[in-house]
Amino acid sequence: MSAPDPAAAKRVAGYRAAGAVCDGMVVGLGTGSTVFFAMERLGERIAEEGLSIAGVPTSYQAAMRARRYGIPLTGLDEHPELDLAIDGADQVDPRFRLIKGRGAALLREKCVCDAAREVLIVVDPSKMVETLDAGVPVEVLPFAAGTVSRRLEALGADPVLREGVRKDGPVITDNGNFIIDCGFGAITDPSRLEREIISIPGVIECGLFTGYGEKITVILGEEGGFRILSPG
């Protein structure tokens, strides 16, 4: 039996999400390999069907991809309420609480998730877990990285400043901040942990998304098809 192909599953999920977009919608565009498949398909629909939409990108990378695929862009100032957002995730639990931020786009991703009436989370099966236990990325004001790290340690984390790849020193986010990655082990109360992290002075945002389960639909791509998982 051949090994599962995450890229094939991601493509199925992304393409299915793009199929849910209707003419005239303003759509939040997440960051990451799965949502980029959705953007690829949206680009095809714009070219083939004349689909008319505008996208709100969550990172420079998402904006660059959108331009490549011919998706017109707008912002939250023009559209503080979005019809839909499409985004990926690093982990999803049965109550649709998420860990996001592998790509360091979590701050704008949370703004877009919050602004959207409906959110499609596109994932491959490796992302579905019973208990969230991946590292939680925390976006931090550089000035306060030291004090924030101490406070995160007091919450039980092992904070590690994220380093650049092909760039010396820390990753600088699209918003000019640092990312501190925090392993907590199995997270028994993700909502409480999210509240505790974001209440630390100097923390801009964290990658726990625990308050959006009601408006999230998960599109779980598999090699041979997909499953739509609804809240509740």
Binding track, positions 11-30, relative to ligand 5RP; x by CB under 6 A? -------------------x
Residue 20's SS3 state is coil
Q: Is 88 annotated as a binding residue?
A: yes
Tokens of 198: 């974001």
Is 58:87 a contact under the CB 8 Å cutoff? yes
Answer yes or no: is 183 a known binding residue. Answer: no
| Residues 43 to 72 in contact with ligand 5RP, rule: CB under 6 A | none
Q: With binding defined as CB under 6 A, does residue 116 bind ligand 5RP?
A: no
List the Cα angle 139/143/149 in 5-degree steps. Answer: 55
Matching residue, tokens 């009601």: 214
Q: Closest-CB residue for ligand 5RP?
A: 32
User: Site map for ligand 5RP, 86-115, x if CB under 6 A?
Assistant: -xxxx---------xxxxxxx--x------
CB under 6 A: which stretch of 31-39, 154-162, 175-183, 192-200 binds ligand 5RP? 31-39
Q: Is 109 a catalytic residue?
A: yes
Catalytic residue among 48, 109, 194, 214: 109
Residue 89 vs 120, nearer CB to ligand 5RP: 89
Q: How far apart, in Å, are the Cα atoms of 162 and each of 132, 140, 183, 219?
A: 20, 11, 12, 29
Query: Site size for ligand 5RP, by CB under 6 A?
Result: 17
* Secondary element (H or E) of residue 217: strand 216-222
Inter-residue contact 194 to 208 (CB < 8 Å): yes
Would you say 58 or 149 has its CB closer to ligand 5RP? 58
Beta bridge partners, 14, equal none
For residue 7, the surrounding DSSP H or E stretch is helix 6-19
SS3 193: helix
- Is 75 within any annotated ligand binding site? no
**Alpha-carbon gap, residue 157 to 143, rounded angstroms:** 20
Residue 122 CB, nearest distance to ligand 5RP (Å)?
A: 7
Burial of 111 (0-12, 13-18, 19+ CB in 10 A): middle
90 is in an annotated binding site: yes
Min CB(52)–ligand 5RP separation in Å: 26
Binding site for ligand 5RP (CB under 6 A): 30-34, 87-90, 100-106, 109
Q: Which parts are annotated binding residues for substrate?
A: 31-34, 87-90, 100-103, 127
State the catalytic residues: 109
